[in-house]
Structure formats: C-alpha cells, structure tokens
Amino acid sequence: MQIRIALSANDEKKLLNSLAKFNLYCLPRFFYTDCPKVSELGQLSDRDQVIFSQSFKHEVLKNIKSITSDPSKFHVLPKGGNCIEWTRSLVDEESGTYNPGRFYFEPDPEISEERSAYLTKVYRFIYTQIKKNGIKSSNHFPIYVGKDLASLVSQGIAKLTYPNGKEVIFNLEKRVIV
C-alpha cells in the first residue's frame, strides 16, 4: 500500500502531531552503522525513514542489512511488515519547488496478526488524515497535497512538480489538481 504525498513543513508538523497518539518511533532508512539510534517520530531530519511501534523495535533492528553495492552503508528492510516506510517531501528552498514523498506499507502474512493489524491501523490513519486534509490529483497514481502547501502554491510562493519535473497545477476552489 502506498500513498504519494506533498507536504509543507506545517502540513508535516500537523500530521506528526496527529500521529502522537500511536507512540511511534523511527530510524533513518539508510545509515553507516549496524546499531542505529532509535528516535521518536518527528525527531529525525532524514528524508527516508521507517516508522514503527516501540514494541516492534527488536524485529525492526533484526531487519538491518548492509547494502551490497556499499557494505559500509546499512538500511532497514521495510518489507518485513514491521514498519512503514516514509519518504518525506523534498523541497528546494532556493526555488520553493516541492517534489512529493510517500508512505509505503506492505503487510506481511508471516508476521503476527497483532503487529500487522497495528501498522495497518496506523497506515490507514495516515491515509485518512491526508485524504481529509489534502487535495488529490486526478492522475492514475494520485498525489495528495497538504492544505498549507496547496495554499503556498496558489499564492505563487511555492511550486509542486511531479517526479518527471512537470509542474502540478490545481484549482483550490474545486479542491482538485489539474
């Protein structure tokens, strides 16, 4: 399950505050030690992160693997169903251009039903919050845009581009992205 998102810093802060009730933790998705420090969600600045419950920490840490092409670099494999992968929106501060990020979760029937159900609940909560508070593009693979970022774009303060570099245009009155 994947949802592509574009969030301003304010949109992200609101989403993270709404997730506080789940008591979530995170790790960078990529790092240079096989014993990374676990942080509370919202405390890291890394673009690529994995999100998980503290009770799954042991399982998540067991899924740390070295990268074949660069053995000095490690990453967390999110496909174990123990965490949600989060790629934050990328912003070029100089030009004010945003590229969307994503939340990705792949439930795994091999892990416990309790863990799978918990992370599915968290993922659905994220999806619901983004749908409720954002604007959706109409293309085949939709992008949800946070309210604050949509406002910045409509004011000409920021730009939003698709991954291919094409600018995203939307109509705030109709709450649609053209």
Query: What is the average pLDDT score of the chain?
Result: 85
pLDDT tens string 150-170: 888 888 899 988 878 888 766
pTM for the model stands at 0.87
Dihedral angle of Cα 68, 58, 12, 73, to the nearest 10 degrees:
-20
Backbone φ and ψ of 49, nearest 5°: -135, 165
Q: Residue ranges per domain, the chain? A: 2-133
DSSP string over 91-120: EETTTTEEE-EEEE----TTS-HHHHHHHH
pLDDT tens string 59-117: 888 888 888 898 889 998 766 678 899 999 999 989 999 999 999 988 776 766 777 78
Report d(CA 118, CA 135) in Å as an integer: 27
Helix (H, G, I), strand (E, B) or coil at 37: coil
User: Is the Cβ–Cβ distance between 27 and 45 less than 8 Å?
Assistant: no
Report d(CA 104, CA 36) in Å as an integer: 21
Q: Is the pLDDT of residue 177 over 60?
A: no
Can you give the pLDDT at residue 26? 95
10-14, 25-29, 106-110, range with the lowest pLDDT = 106-110
- Strand 30-31's sheet: what is its strand order? 30-31, 70-76, 64-67
Report d(CA 23, CA 10) in Å as an integer: 20
Report d(CA 54, CA 75) in Å as an integer: 18
Q: Which of 47, 9, 13, 54 is nearest to 28 (CA)?
A: 47
User: Is the Cβ–Cβ distance between 67 and 75 less than 8 Å?
Assistant: yes
Neighbour tally for 87: CB within 10 Å: 18
Can you give the pLDDT at residue 43? 96
Query: Residue 17: CB partners within 8 Å, gap ≥ 6?
Result: none
- 11's enclosing H/E stretch is helix 9-19
Most confident by average pLDDT, 21-30, 124-133, 144-153: 21-30
Q: Is the pLDDT of residue 178 over 50?
A: no
